[in-house]
Amino acid sequence: MTSKHKVRIAVIESTPVLRELDASSRAMADLLDAFTSLGHQCGLWLHGDDDVTEQVVGFAPDVIVLSRPPATLALAPRFRSLQVPLIYFGHDLHHVRIQRESELLGRPPTHSRMLQQVEKQCCMLCDYSVFPGPEEGSTMNTLVGKEVAGYFPYFCFHEQDFPERRPSGKKLIFVGGSNHGPNVDGVLWFLEHVWHQLRTDTPDVVLSICGLWTNQNLPASIPEGVTFTGPLSELHLSSQLQESILSIAPLRYGAGIKRKIVQALAAGLPTVTTSIGAEGLHSSLGMSAPLLIADSAEEWIAVIKDVLRDSTLRRRLSLDGKEFVARRFGTAVFLEECQNLLTHAQQIASTRIELSTEPSTAR
């Protein structure tokens, strides 16, 4: 079996794939769409489905993709005997994200250490593992002690999905729901430490926070000029991006590539984020995303005010952002990376299978 042949690909997720709800779901939806576009046949299961093992075996896959630790730990040992490539999609290094959260909030690191062992085991159970940040694969290779992981773009952005922007006024946008801890921490920090002074200096600035937020995660009092839109369809979110003048991502901890940032760049929207938010996008893979970096409250206020008053800067950032996304996350690039992933996993798995079927030598 070579990568040019049409293959059957079984994808097993740990949680339901809800394309418009979260970035991980969108990554898996993009993957399934791309494999189908390449002519491959795909099947999708949840690891908790009844008789999932029997269903996958009955599908007779040529490749199996396991998404996130729960599905991988539960099913990879069972699928090793099928002698087909097993690919682990980690989405990000969970243990790094939890470690950063613990350090920021003064919590013990016990959970992050446990997750590190879990993620290490996931990589060891599969033939090849992929992560969205170029540095994350290297981190896992070091932990495991051999080459088991590498980079994969995870997200695909179709150039035609982003019409020309028509900003109205000084509208900022944040995309993300409260189901992701870094979003809650970042938004609440921004509202408490940045927003009041920014509104004092620039009274006509407004902020839309787009995504599903539960009542317990909303601020006790929503500041003037701030709107929580609730969950939006892709069409309505696209309209919000068109109308905005600047995207913000005040993330104080996290790991992996942040889809909200890539999406804003793809829409031609100037983007301000933190050093954490820029990880994997700023000066990596031989290209650098045109991001504005701010970590302290003072830096955030200064950078946002600079962008609001400098139309030349906004035009340059808009053009550069679109170019960056096309080069790294465009349709043609993503399809090529998907095909390369299949080829690479098949080559690694064939070596593993050959070694496992060699007759033992008496000593």
Model confidence, pTM: 0.87
Q: Enumerate the H helices of 191-281 as residue ranges.
A: 196-201, 234-243, 259-266
Whole-number Å distance between alpha carbons of 216 and 178? 9
What Å distances lie between residue 338 and 55, 151, 268, CA to CA? 24, 11, 25
- What is the Cβ-side half-sphere exposure of residue 302, based on CA atoms within 13 angstroms? 7
CATH value at residue 187: 3.40.50.2000
Q: 236 lies in which domain range?
A: 159-329
Check whether 91 has a pLDDT greater than 80: yes
Residues 230 and 243 in one domain: yes
Check whether 362 has a pLDDT greater than 60: no
Is the distance from CB of 25 to CB of 91 less than 8 angstroms?
no
Quick one: pLDDT at residue 200?
Answer: 96
**Between β-strands 128-131 and 149-151, what pairing exists: parallel, antiparallel or unpaired?**
parallel
Please report, as a single letter, which amino acid is at residue 224.
E
48 falls within a domain: yes
Quick one: pLDDT at residue 357?
Answer: 55
Residues 142 and 269 in one domain: no
Residues 117 and 93 in one domain: yes
3 falls within a domain: no
Q: Tell me the mean pLDDT in the region 65-76.
A: 95
Whole-number Å distance between alpha carbons of 338 and 334? 6
How far from the centroid of its chain's Cα atoms is residue 30's Cα?
11
Instruction: For residue range 92-105, list pLDDT tens digits in order.
Output: 888 888 888 888 88
Residues 132 and 229 in one domain: no
Residues 177 and 317 in one domain: yes
Residues 191 and 126 in one domain: no
Is the distance from CB of 249 to CB of 261 less than 8 angstroms?
yes
Q: What is the CA radius of gyration of the chain?
A: 22
Residues 71 and 168 in one domain: no
How far from the centroid of its chain's Cα atoms is residue 98's Cα?
16
